Amino acid sequence: MKRLTQLLFSIGLLLLLAACGAEASSVKQSDVNKAKIQAVYDAWSNGTKEEWIEAYHSILADDYVRWNGRYVGLGFQIDQENLTVIEAMRSPAKENFKPGDKFISVNGIEATVENVEDLPFQGAIGGEVNIVLERDGEELSMALVRAAQEQTATKEQVLANQEGWEGYDNRPSIKTFRPLIAEDNVVYAAFELSGTNGEGAEVNWWNVERFVFNENGELVGHADLSEELFLWQQNGYYLTNE
C-alpha cells in the first residue's frame, strides 16, 4: 500500500511538472511573439524604411496573409494612368473583366485620367454599374452589380507595396502606444497615430491591430481596424449618398 501511494504521488508530481513546463513554454513563446511585434513598431518610430521593412518581413511565414478591410465595389484593380484593368480578383469583376480592358464610361460618365477616382465603381451594395469598355478594338457594354469585397494581400504583394512607398519620411508618428497583449499565438496592439492635414493642422486617429503566429513563431496573419472615417473628416472629407 505504501509503495502504491508513493507511485501515485510520483506520477502526480510528474504530471504537475509537465503541466508547469507546458505553461512556461506557452508563456515564453507568446513573449517571443510580442517582442517581434514590438521590434516592428520600434523600427517604424526610430528606424529607416529599410530597417522597418526588414523587421516586418523577417518574421513572415510563406503563407502569410494581410487583411486590409472590406468595401463595396466590383472587385478589380485599375491602372489609373491608362484607365485599364490590371487584375480582376473577385466577383463580379472576375467574370466580366480581362486585364487590359480600357474603360470608356461608367454610368454615363466619360472615363478620364482626371476623374478616374470619382467614377462610381463603388457605392451602395446591390447598385447597378453600367460600364462601356474597349477590348481588342471593340466596345463592350455591361451592367454589373456591386457586392461586398474583402481586400487581402500576400507576402510578396505587401513587400512590393512597402518598397514602392515613397511617403515613409512623412509617415505619421505614434503618439500613444498601449502595452502589447499576447495570448497564445496572437498579439494585439492599440495605438494612436498623429499626422498633419493639408491645412497644416494636427490630425489623430486610433488603430487596433491583430497578429497571428504559427507554431514556428512565424507571422501568418495581420489585420487591423482604424478610425478611418474620423481621419477623413479631419481632412475635410465626408460621406454622401450617391
Instruction: Find, among 169, 163, 212, the residue nearest to 53 by Cα.
Output: 163
Q: In terms of DSSP bridges, do strands 181-183 and 173-177 run parallel, antiparallel, or are they unpaired?
A: unpaired
CATH superfamily name and code, 75-145: PDZ domain (2.30.42.10)
Write down the pLDDT at residue 240: 75
Domains of the chain by residue range: 27-69+151-234, 75-145
pLDDT at residue 149, rounded to an integer: 96
Which pLDDT score is estimated for 239? Answer: 80
Q: Spell out the residues 6+ positions from residue 125 whose beta carbon is closer than 8 angstroms to its own.
A: 72, 146, 147, 148
pLDDT value at residue 28: 86
**Interval 156-172: pLDDT, tens:** 999 999 999 999 999 99
Indicate the SS3 state at residue 241. coil
CATH number of 27-69+151-234: 3.10.450.50
Q: How far apart are CA 206 and CA 55, in angstroms?
A: 22
The residue among 53, 31, 29, 30 whose CA lies nearest residue 43 is: 53
Distance of alpha carbon 27 from alpha carbon 5, whole angstroms: 33
pLDDT tens-digit readout, 20-54:
555 555 458 999 999 999 999 999 999 999 999 99
In the numeric block, which cell numbers belong to residue 78?
485599375
Instruction: Please give the residue that has the higher pLDDT: either 7 or 219.
Output: 219
Same CATH topology for 27-69+151-234 and 75-145: the answer is no
Identify the pLDDT of residue 242. Answer: 58
**Is residue 233's pLDDT more than 50?**
yes
Confidence of residue 13 (pLDDT cuts 50, 70, 90): very low
**Whether this model's pTM surpasses 0.85:** no
Whether 122 shows a pLDDT value over 50: the answer reads: yes
Count Cα atoms within 13 angstroms, Cβ side, for 112.
Answer: 4
C-alpha cell at 231: 481621419
Written as one string, the DSSP assignment of 213-233 is: E-TTS-EEEEEEEE-HHHHHH
